[in-house]
């Protein structure tokens, strides 16, 4: 058992090695990334090899999520445009530049209304850089409660974790069903 991570309170959550998807939903993203990177580094080092940064994506892959199956998902095609809304107003377009599962990356084209949220995304970025996961989680909650992400086909994304960076790029993870109904 890993300190600070609760065992799943629900059955049927896909496994993340020693963690479950429920654990990943309960703990913040930054802690999960650090935890999985550390586990991968220790496993590779135990084999007498030097960990390589590109291997870290393997530790973060989530089995059982439909959006991670195969690489033919049209939502992940370079050039696909996802949209960010506040209510009915589109405040940003995210043009996909690549994916390193489970993350999708994009260039951000901001629209009127985005400036109101720029400080929140900047605070989130600082919190992650400072490894202040409580503050990062609070930013995530504020982003999710105020904004809706839309798939390229215009349908809403049920669950997402979005980071928009000061350099005009973004990275996000997503799930096509709400976490509270995905496993019922």
Mean per-residue pLDDT of the chain: 73
The more confident residue out of 112 and 4 is 112
- Compute the distance between CA of residue 94 and CA of residue 168 in angstroms, rounded to an integer: 10
Alpha carbon distance 50, 124 (integer Å): 31
Provide the residue ranges of all domains of the chain, joining segments of one domain with +: 15-64, 70-182
Question: Which tens digit of pLDDT belongs to each residue from 150-161?
Answer: 999 999 999 999
**Distance between CA atoms of residues 158 and 180, nearest Å:** 10
Of 134 and 4, the structure prediction assigns the larger pLDDT to: 134
Where does the pLDDT of residue 75 fall: very low under 50, low under 70, confident under 90, or very high at 90 and above? confident
* pLDDT tens per residue across span 94-140: 999 999 888 999 999 999 999 999 999 999 999 999 999 999 999 99
State both tokens at 87: 């209510």
């Amino acid at each position: 058992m890993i300190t600070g991570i609760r065992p799943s309170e629900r059955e049927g959550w896909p496994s993340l090695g020693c963690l479950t998807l429920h654990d990943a939903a309960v703990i913040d993203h930054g802690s999960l990334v650090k935890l999985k990177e550390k586990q991968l580094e220790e496993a590779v080092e135990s084999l007498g090899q030097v960990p390589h940064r590109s291997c870290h994506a393997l530790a973060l892959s989530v089995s059982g999520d439909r959006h991670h199956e195969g690489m033919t998902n049209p939502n992940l095609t370079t050039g696909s445009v996802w949209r960010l809304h506040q209510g009915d107003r589109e405040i940003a377009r995210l043009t996909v530049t690549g994916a390193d599962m489970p993350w999708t990356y994009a260039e951000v084209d901001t629209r009127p209304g985005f400036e109101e949220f720029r400080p929140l995304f900047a605070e989130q970025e600082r919190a992650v850089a400072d490894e202040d996961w409580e503050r990062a989680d609070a930013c995530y909650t504020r982003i999710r409660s105020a904004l809706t992400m839309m798939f390229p086909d215009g349908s809403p994304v049920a669950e997402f974790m979005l980071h928009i960076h000061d350099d005009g790029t973004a990275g996000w993870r997503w799930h096509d069903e709400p976490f509270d109904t995905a496993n019922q």
